[in-house]
Amino acid sequence: MTIVSHPSRWRRVLVLCAATALLHYTTIVWLGERIGFDTPPRDTEPVKVSAQLRPALPARAPPPATPAVPRPAPQPRAERPAAARQVVIDAGADEALPEPVPEPAPPPAPSVVTAPVDVAPPPVAQAGAAPQAPAVQSPAEAPAGRRFRVNPPPSASFEMDVKRTDADGRQWSGSGDMRWQTDGGTYRVNVNVGISLLVARVDLLSVTSEGTIDDAGIAPVKTTEKRRNRAMTATHFDRDGKRITFSASTAAVPLMAGAQDKATVPFQLAAIGRADVNQFGSDIDIQVGEDRGATVYRFVLVGEEELETRMGRLVTWRLARPPRPGSYNARLDIWLAPSLDWYPVQIRNTEGNGAVTTQTVTKILRPAS
């Protein structure tokens, strides 16, 4: 008996197999988005680590010497006029001793001319008057920030592994993503951090920053921050008014040159390294606007370190912001990879109570050429 195959039947089988494969792919993508794993965009390509650069560490520049303030010449001490000597008459002597000649008075000390200083007296509260709001520091009083040569890195997206150890020893794990986009004149940064709970991810922090690129580097215009169970806050960098304002407070802080926000600090450090590594030979002071105020972060170069990541072993430069009494009690460490356009590949925050959060890059994606 001869078996005759039917072409239409085979076509139906092929169509069924294709539909099944498509359904599986769609299900996998849908599940990945639900549990927080983003699929890489089709117009990006992963960065491959090849031969790595090892630039020489800059020599540590000594701190600038403080000019000695000349002390005024000591003024001669005014002496009391010599008292008239007592006339002593020797018993049996016929004449007294001669009267002493008074010593000449010392010449007057030269007067020191100083510029007048006007000190306004404190305002006196009037009975029944409403209390006055604290004065806002004038933008003209803002100290001039140190200017750096900058060369911002190209656009890229980062997938990160997040590890946290609470002060009591409890450990958490999660994931995050960071997107840096720039066309050379403007930029946008998005940072999202979450923890993994079973098969779901809970977002803990989301920060968005956008602005321009100028001679001082990244120039934020507006930053928004959203934390879990908290309202969103916004920080505005008023370039024309030269001040930083906050939606969460009534404060107004003078804007310094090169001011950043928490999302742009790692990329500003990358821009400084790309422009001239020798700038890391001295302290890097950067004004950082946060949700309620602004603080000057002081970074120091710790040295070169090899970092173990899912991308392989990376040669990095570690910069640290140690605690500063009266300013901040947390430590911030940032690892930059010279071979990868000085991208930040690890960020660690050590809080004052001992809690540590570490974000390590697992994949870097760049726009396809």
CA distances from 97 to 83, 103, 104, 208, 330 (A): 16, 18, 21, 98, 83
Measured in whole angstroms, how far is the alpha carbon of residue 287 from the centre of its chain? 7
How far is it, in rounded angstroms, from Cα 262 to Cα 139?
22
Answer whether residue 198 shows pLDDT above 80: no
Of 46-60, 132-146, 153-167, 182-196, the range with the lowest mean pLDDT is 132-146
Element (H, E) at 114: none
The residue count for the chain: 369
CA-nearest of 104, 103, 106 to 75 is 106
How far is it, in rounded angstroms, from Cα 95 to Cα 93?
6
Answer whether residue 219 shows pLDDT above 50: yes
136-185 pLDDT, tens per residue? Answer: 444 444 454 578 999 999 999 999 999 999 999 999 999 999 999 999 99
289-347 pLDDT, tens per residue? Answer: 998 999 999 999 999 999 999 999 999 999 999 998 888 899 999 999 999 999 999 99
Cβ burial of 27 (10 Å; 0-12, 13-18, 19+) is exposed
How far is it, in rounded angstroms, from Cα 59 to Cα 173?
38
How far is it, in rounded angstroms, from Cα 8 to Cα 19?
16
- Average pLDDT of the chain is 77
Contact 195, 174 (CB under 8 A): yes
For a pLDDT cut of 90, what percent of the chain falls above it? 54
65-74 pLDDT, tens per residue? Answer: 544 545 556 5
